[in-house]
Each structure stands twice: as structure tokens, then as C-alpha cells.
Amino acid sequence: MKIIKNTTLRFSIIGRYFVVFAILFSTISFALIPDKNTAIADNVHYYNYNFNSPVTKTYIPKPEREVYIEAQVNLNQYQEEQAKAEARRKELEEKVNRTLNYLRRVKSPVANEEIATIIVDLADQNNADYRVLLAIMTIESGSCRQSFSYNCFGYLNGRKYPSFEVAFKDLVPKVSRQYAAKYGWDFVALSRAYGQHNWELHSKNMLKVASSI
């Protein structure tokens, strides 16, 4: 009986320690494991914080006044240059159309856009009036109807050209610099310098041609 009592008492004590241990373990476990709702709420708070954080936003500083003024000036200059280029393009296009219409009117064999463009562009590049070039052409070759080796200007350089295109590319700059740009619409001086025999008549005819284009 004494042995049984001692054994029962021992198990009773052990049982109490076990219960105490179980309670402590449960308490510690619940303290360490976060609540699901709390965890979700924490995550929502975390993402909301980063979404609204100024760090995630792009910040573009306002340019300084000097920088802004310089940029505006550059933009204005660019727009002016573009406007001038467009006006220049339209001007040249109009001159080509006038040249082409004249060549067609006098039934010239070079009445095409390619030759008209060559005349206008090369005359312009050499500071000459394209109408003066056309006037010289009319007097010297009947606007290329009586040209010699595709030379429509009666320009004495002893060269034979293989085509109108080659001839115009070579002759328009030369005639422009030496005569058209130098004398302009002073057709009397131009006719005499060009060596035209009946310069009084030819100068009047060149003035008439240039004025009609």
C-alpha cells in the first residue's frame, strides 16, 4: 500500500508539471505566431505606404529662368529657319513653274521639269536672275531650237556636249557669273559684252522676253 501511494503521488506531481509546461508552451506559441488578420493588415499598410511614398514619384524640377529663356530663344530661331526654308522652297518651285511654262509656250525642246529646275537652281546659286538666262537662250538659240551640240547659249568654249542636261549644268553657272549676275537687267550692256552683233535690237528683245516670264 505504501508503494502504491508513493507511486500515485509521484505521478500526481509529474502530471502537475506537465500541465504547467503545456500551458506555458501554448502561451509562448500564440505569442510568437502572428495573427492572420494582423499579418494581412500589416501587408496592406506596407504596400499603401510604398504606394504613397514620395520616393516612388518622379520629380521634375522647374527649370531655371535662364535655361527656360535660352530654350525658348532656340525654339524661336528653329521655327524662323523652318519658315524661311519653306518660303524659299515655294519661291524656287514658283520659278521652276514659270520657267517650264515659258519653255512650253515657245515650244522649246527642253520644256521639261528637269531642265527648268537646273536653270533655276544654278542661276540662283550664282546670284543670277533665271529670267535673264532664258532671255539669252531665246536670242542665241531660239530657246534651244537651233542649238549647236546642245549649247543653247551660243557660249564660245569650243566644247561639244553629249546632252542638254550636261550642257546646262556646265553653261548655266558660267553664263550666270560672267554675264547674268554681272549685268542683270541692263540688257544693253549685257548684249554688248556678250558680243551680239545687233546689240540694240537684241537688248530690246531680251528685255521683252524677261518681262514676259
Selection from 131, 164, 135 nearest residue 148 by Cα: 164
Asked if residue 130 belongs to a domain, the reply is yes
**What's the pLDDT at 193?**
97
Mean model confidence pLDDT for the chain: 81
Q: Are 183 and 189 in contact (CB under 8 A)?
A: yes
Q: Are 131 and 213 in contact (CB under 8 A)?
A: yes
Same domain for 123 and 199: yes
- Band the pLDDT of 6: cuts 50, 70, 90: very low
Q: Are 143 and 108 in contact (CB under 8 A)?
A: yes
Average pLDDT of the residues in 37-65: 53
Q: Cα dist. 193→29, 75, 187, 208 in Å?
A: 116, 49, 10, 19
Percent of the chain beyond pLDDT 70?
A: 70
Q: Which residue has the higher pLDDT, 15 or 183?
A: 183
**What's the pLDDT at 78?**
84
- Band the pLDDT of 84: cuts 50, 70, 90: confident
For residue 150, is pLDDT > 90? yes
For residue 134, is pLDDT > 70? yes
Same domain for 107 and 6: no
Asked if residue 56 belongs to a domain, the reply is no
Asked if residue 11 belongs to a domain, the reply is yes
Q: Which residue has the higher pLDDT, 6 or 199?
A: 199
Listing DSSP states for 36-91 in one string gives HHHHHHHHHHHHHHHHS-GGGS---PPPPHHHHHHHHHHHHHHHHHHHHHHHHHHH
Give the count of domains, the chain.
Answer: 2
Domain carrying residue 21: 1-33
- The CATH code of the domain that includes 186 is 1.10.530
Residues 161-187 pLDDT 10s: 999 999 999 999 999 999 999 999 999
Look at the pTM and tell me if it is higher than 0.75: no
- Band the pLDDT of 82: cuts 50, 70, 90: confident
Name the least confident of 33-37, 111-115, 140-144, 196-200. Answer: 33-37
Asked if residue 73 belongs to a domain, the reply is no
For residue 83, is pLDDT > 90? no
**What's the pLDDT at 2?**
41
Please count the other Cβ atoms lying within 10 Å of the Cβ belonging to residue 16. 10
Same domain for 110 and 5: no
For residue 38, is pLDDT > 70? no
